Structure 1
Amino acid sequence: MAAAVALVAAAAGCGSEPAAGPTPSEQTITTPSGTTAASPGPVGDADWPTYHHDNARTGVAPGFPTLGTASVAWTSRLDGAVYGQPIVVGGMVYAATENDTVYALDPATGKAKWSRHLATPVPQHDLPCGNIDPLGITSTMVYDPATGLVFALAESTGGHHTLYGVDAATGTVRVVRAAEPPKGDPIAHQQRSALTLLDGKVYVAYGGLAGDCAHYIGSVVAVPTVGNGPVASYAVPTTREAGIWAPGGAAVLDGHLLYAVGNGESTSGYDGSDSVLELDPQLKLTDRFSPSTWADDNAHDLDLGSMSPAVVGTHVLIAGKRGTGYVLDGKHFGGIGGEVAKTEICKAFGGSAVNGDTVYVPCTDGTRAVRVDSAGKPQVLWHTTVPARGAPVLGGGAVWVVDYEDGLLYLLDPASGAVRQKLSIGTAPHFASPTLAGEQAYVGTLTGVVAVRPS
């Protein structure tokens, strides 16, 4: 799943020279002619400002057009692979590439209104392991309506991790803050989890590179959206690993952040890995769950960290690499073995969609629908017969899910999982997830972004 780097398509507007490092004085910033500063304001239902639409990560698009005969509207070739989910705000599509470039795309044509090259990405040969080449912006960005900025976390040469706030209207860089993981070797960390905006801060979660090499420790960093206030952090209390890398990032429940954590090295003394964490906005640990099988999970790489937690009413559903789904009480996770209920679901990787009491789970052998009743009892309703293995979203009366390996977009019946339609979109990164906003869907691919009309 190495990221293919393509030539930049001709685009309107202009960009800046690459930033050599994480300090504002080192950047050359230009503003495209004919643009004005962003006008901060609330986002609407037709927008998609963060991963899976909202901080609960529901993946549901209210008011999205009813599915008819879907078709590809346009394909925009950018300067690298788009691993993060595109976001849409105010009638503009924003996408970030592994070449450390952020684009603002016209939803009608796919042409760039502006582009901003933020830094020089890390070539794979400079990493201790990994499978993305080069390694630049991998996570889903987030839009802040209070400042009018789009935030992106860029990895750059030398193993730097820098948070950039880019003016949504002009592409001007207005915030540059170092956001390094608090423990371990920075170059060993990969930032894949979606960014989360909460209470005036951007939360950045870290895991390791493919191959689990070198010295990394799962952690979360909180950076203020304005000013030069201190950066807060939390690190899993383990000697190594315990990465927080699920692409959906944090789900927010009652003002707290829920993260899934991967396996640690310990198989004897519990080290906080293979868990679901609840952190308050100051990044203090307030609750935690781990399965009673945590030691065996750690020994065999069967941890929970591959799927982001799904908030279902007052409960939380989590699955992972073992295939067991656990339902947690949202008010008290219960510690080790403290689940409300459990059942076999699937090996799950990525983010889910949640509509009422039904969770659409991103299974490696195809999406499943799982109902969680008011008592927390889970029941698998259906399993689609096609390899729709990406992270599903819901809108227009269909479940939209990508088969990233075969380059197909499936549109499934929400009640049965039957295929209503499929489209060829080109090869997508692992765990890719569509964005449903306005009148179209948008999918990041290994060469850019594809837009799809629902009818």
Structure 2
Amino acid sequence: MVTLLIVVLVSAMCTDPPGPDPADWTTYHHDNTRSGVAPELAPLGTLSKAWDATLDGAVYGQPLVVGDRVFAATENNTVYALDAATGRTIWSTHVGSPMPLSQLPCGNINPLGITSTMVYDPATRLLFALSETTAARHMLVSLDATTGTVRQRRAAEPPEGNRVAHQQRGALSLVDGRIYIPYGGLDGDCDRYIGSVVSLPVVGPAKPISYHVPTTRQGGIWAPGGGILVGDRLMYATGNGASTTTYDGSDSIIALNPELKLVDRFTPTIWAEDNSSDADLGSMTPALAGGYVYANGKRGVGYTLKPNHLGGIGGQIDQAYVCPTFGAAAVSGNTIYVPCVDGPRAVTINTKGKITVGWQAVVSGGGSPTIGGGAVWVIDTSLGILSALDPATGVVRQRIPVGKVHRFASPTLARGHAYVGTMTGVAAVAGA
């Protein structure tokens, strides 16, 4: 009996996902600043398709990698653990029936299940996903990363507006034992949604805490990178709001404390024009580079901000036209690789916060870049092609097809591979 117990315990320890490792990719763009950098990735070799895993739905969130496992979630509300080397399914867990598009007031994802990037907690070895199920219920689901067993399901509804009008696209954040969940609206901006952030502890029955944009409608927090952590502040970009006369908290970079109280904000002076023309900051997750926060959005104007004093209305350090952006940037030192709709650009921020626009890569589709192995990686989302770019010039070094992807696809870089969520599952490219 003792011998058997020892064997069982050793077996369980061998199959458990490991604890924190810088080579792991446990959250969107690797870390809570959303740098998009894979620090342990080996130098770039010749790219080849390693495997394709066909899952039960489209994968909109960025795959996570912990040890020898890839975690992915589908719009059919199924979470998968895949073998990182082969793509073989280790386990899969269906967490609820997704919301059919026919029962939504608008939108472009059918069905609507798990859209955002999950987050893995090394301390508890739990994997967290936000699922939308029938009747537009938004549930935070925690799963045992070893077995796929559901440990908890907790309601995490947006605090204001009609819940059926909300879509949860922004990546989840894990900060000091709490999960933070941003909400925006459906494609088409229909019905009454209000941008918000909801938070729950990683374990326990506690009620959610929340913040919502003080607008009567819209102000969505929907960029796929979610928020960035700067010190003890979570910073999010908010979309256009309903007002064009009285400032309503929309079209801004907001800073929230761990209790989700608003502590700081930046808003362009042309916020009213942005609101009226749908040209707001909400389309790109803010970035942290060279000691400054960088913001950009649909209008294409980039702003640098002091992280400890965002400056309120018109309080930027510098501004310059860069490009319209959708998604999330990747950052190396004081260089930001910006997700422009007509191909990524390299933007540098000097010690005084001045913006300088550098190269533009000839890659269409507007995918969100990541960095690793001496290359900048970006997906041509219109063609489903992954490119590795020279970081100094933007010249394409290698390209490889990965399959049909969604508009905001961004490659995960870990364990010598690039992993891409596709409209049919996950594709893995070797040589990363």
Same fold (TM over 0.5): yes
Q: Is the 8 A contact 2:68 2:85 kept in 1?
A: no
Corresponding position of 2:8: none
Q: Give me the whole-angstrom Cα distance separating, in 1, the residues matched to 2:161 and 2:19.
A: 38
Q: After superposition, where does 1:184-199 map in structure 2 within 5 Å?
A: 184-199=161-176
The structure 1 residue matched to 2:239, chosen from 262, 270, 277, is: 262
The structure 1 residue matched to 2:396, chosen from 419, 437, 440, is: 419
Corresponding position of 2:205: 228
Corresponding position of 1:438: 415
- Aligned residue identity for 2:386: L
For the pair 1:149 / 2:152, whether they are aligned, the reply is no
- SS class of match (1:43): coil
Deviations 1:257-277 (A, max 9, x none): 000000001000000000000
The structure 2 residue matched to 1:109, chosen from 69, 77, 86, is: 86
Q: Give me the whole-angstrom Cα distance separating, in 2, the residues matched to 1:439 and 1:150.
A: 23
Q: After superposition, where does 1:74-89 map in structure 2 within 5 Å?
A: 74-89=51-66
For the pair 1:59 / 2:36, whether they are aligned, the reply is yes
Q: Give me the whole-angstrom Cα distance separating, in 1, the residues matched to 2:295 and 2:366.
A: 17
Cα displacement (A) at 1:281: 0.6
- Out of 380-389 and 360-369, give the one that drifted further: 380-389
The structure 2 residue matched to 1:366, chosen from 343, 346, 349, is: 343
Question: What percentage of residue pairs aligned between the two structures are identical?
Answer: 58
- Out of 63-72 and 362-371, give the one that drifted further: 63-72
For the pair 1:341 / 2:314, whether they are aligned, the reply is no
The structure 1 residue matched to 2:271, chosen from 277, 288, 294, is: 294
Deviations 1:232-287 (A, max 9, x none): 00000000000000000010000210000000010000000000000001000010
Q: After superposition, where does 1:25-64 map in structure 2 within 5 Å?
A: 42-64=19-41
Q: Please identify runs of 4+ aligned residues in structure 1 that moved more than 3 A.
A: 34-42
Cα displacement (A) at 1:199: 1.1
Q: After superposition, where does 1:131-142 map in structure 2 within 5 Å?
A: 131-142=108-119
Q: Is the 8 A contact 2:305 2:317 kept in 1?
A: yes
Corresponding position of 2:101: 124
For the pair 1:454 / 2:422, whether they are aligned, the reply is no
Cα displacement (A) at 1:387: 1.4
Q: Give me the whole-angstrom Cα distance separating, in 1, the residues matched to 2:14 and 2:270.
A: 53
How has the CA–CA distance of structure 1 residues 282 and 37 changed in structure 2, closer, same or farther, with 3 Å as cutoff? farther
Q: Is the 8 A contact 1:276 1:288 kept in 2?
A: yes
- SS class of match (1:298): helix
Count of aligned positions: 422
Deviations 1:109-156 (A, max 9, x none): 101000000000011000000000000000000001111100000001
Q: Is the 8 A contact 1:85 1:95 kept in 2?
A: yes
For the pair 1:167 / 2:144, whether they are aligned, the reply is yes
Corresponding position of 1:202: 179
Corresponding position of 1:70: 47
Corresponding position of 1:356: 333
Cα displacement (A) at 1:36: 7.2
Corresponding position of 2:281: 304
- SS class of match (1:57): coil
Q: Is the 8 A contact 1:46 1:61 kept in 2?
A: yes
Cα displacement (A) at 1:43: 1.4
Q: Give me the whole-angstrom Cα distance separating, in 2, the residues matched to 1:429 and 1:203.
A: 24
- SS class of match (1:297): helix
- SS class of match (1:299): helix
Q: Give me the whole-angstrom Cα distance separating, in 1, the residues matched to 2:19 and 2:300.
A: 39
Q: Is the 8 A contact 2:220 2:240 kept in 1?
A: yes
- Out of 307-316 and 293-302, give the one that drifted further: 307-316
Q: Is the 8 A contact 2:364 2:382 kept in 1?
A: no
- Could you tell me which runs of 5 or more consecutive residues in structure 1 were left unpaired when the two chains were aligned: 1-33
Corresponding position of 1:239: 216
Corresponding position of 2:4: none
Q: Give me the whole-angstrom Cα distance separating, in 1, the residues matched to 2:48 and 2:412.
A: 15
Cα displacement (A) at 1:40: 7.7
Cα displacement (A) at 1:404: 1.1
- TM-score normalized with structure 2 length: 0.96
- Aligned residue identity for 2:296: A
- SS class of match (1:158): helix
- Aligned residue identity for 2:54: R
Cα displacement (A) at 1:185: 0.6
Q: Give me the whole-angstrom Cα distance separating, in 2, the residues matched to 1:144 and 1:69.
A: 33
- Aligned residue identity for 1:257: L
Deviations 1:55-88 (A, max 9, x none): 0100000120211211110000000000000001
- SS class of match (1:187): helix
Cα displacement (A) at 1:385: 2.1
Corresponding position of 2:194: 217
How has the CA–CA distance of structure 1 residues 37 and 173 changed in structure 2, closer, same or farther, with 3 Å as cutoff? farther
- TM-score normalized with structure 1 length: 0.91
- Could you tell me which runs of 5 or more consecutive residues in structure 2 were left unpaired when the two chains were aligned: 1-10
Q: Give me the whole-angstrom Cα distance separating, in 2, the residues matched to 1:175 and 1:355.
A: 37
